[in-house]
Structure 1
Amino acid sequence: MMVINIAQSLARNRVSIDFSCTISEIQYTSHFQLISPWEVVRAWFRKKSDWS
């Protein structure tokens, strides 16, 4: 049971870290071009699906 909890918390941390990295990438690139929120969501889900 403990192992499952650890795995879940690690997965959550990984998602939040990757999400914040994605946000910072978007903020950086948005200086050069305007990105719609929909593109942001699509890019994030594309990244997320690469893990599985």
Structure 2
Amino acid sequence: MAWTSGGPRARRSREAALAAAIELLVEGGPELVTHAAVAERAGVGRATVYRD
């Protein structure tokens, strides 16, 4: 999957979403890694998780 380059804000959102997904995976396995859980943990909107 290729991410769009975007500016600093987009990069921060992607990094936060990725970090959140990793944390959720480590904490409880793949069943905890949903787009809603990643968005909530990362502090971004759900659309951001879909877009990135």
* TM-score scaled by length of structure 1: 0.51
Unaligned runs of 5+ in 1: 1-7
Instruction: Spell out structure 1 runs of 4+ moving beyond 6 A.
Output: none
| C-alpha distance in structure 1 between counterparts of 2:16 and 2:7, whole Å | 14
Identity value in percent: 8
Structure that is richer in helix per residue: 1
Unaligned runs of 5+ in 2: 1-5, 46-52
Larger Rg, first or second structure (1 or 2): 1
Alpha-carbon RMSD: 2.8
Q: In the comparison of the two structures, how many residue pairs are matched? A: 39
